[in-house]
Amino acid sequence: MSTRTDAAVLAAAASAARRANLIAVLSWLAPGAGYFWLKKWTRGALVSAAIIGMFLLGLGLQGQIYQFSQLGDLLSILGWIGDVCGGGMYFLTQILGAGAGNAYTVWGNYGTTFLISAGLLNLLAATDVRDIALGRKK
C-alpha cells in the first residue's frame, strides 16, 4: 500500500518539476513572462522593464551581439553565452540582422556590455522563476 503512495508522491514531484522547467523556459524566452504566469505582477513588470531596457539601451549604444560563427577566443565565447541567455530577444535580433556593433566608438563597448548583462540578468530571473514555481521561495 505504501508503494502506491510513494509512486504518487514521485509522480507529483516529477509533474511539478516539469511545470517549473516549462515556466523557466517561458521566462527565458520572454523576460518577465514567468513571473506574470505565477501572478507576481510587480516583480514581472520590474524584471521585464530592466532586462528589455538594458537590451534596447545596448542596441541603441551600437553594442555587438556575438554570433556563433565568430567564436574564436574565450572572451568571444563568454560574450556569446551571455547574449544567448537573452533568450527571445537574442534570436529576434539575429533574425532582424541587428546588433552588428560599432567597435570604433567607446559607446559600442558599453552597449556590448549592456547586451551581455541583460542576458545574464534574464538567466538569473529564469532560475528565480523556477525556484518560485517549485515552492523553494516566495
- For the stretch 19-46, pLDDT in tens is 999 999 999 999 999 999 999 999 999 9
Q: Which residues of 124-138 are buried (b: 16+ CB within 10 A; e: fewer)?
A: ebbebbbebbbeeee
pTM listed for this prediction: 0.90
- For the stretch 64-112, pLDDT in tens is 999 888 888 988 999 999 999 999 999 999 999 999 988 788 899 999 9
Q: What is the CA radius of gyration of the chain?
A: 18
Query: In this prediction, what percent of the chain has a pLDDT beyond 70?
Result: 97
What are the structural domain ranges in the chain? 2-134
Give the three cell numbers for residue 9. 508522491
pLDDT at 133 over 90: yes
Q: What is the mean pLDDT of the chain?
A: 93
pLDDT band, very low/low/confident/very high, at 138 (cuts 50, 70, 90): confident
Distance of CA 100 to the CA centre of its chain: 21
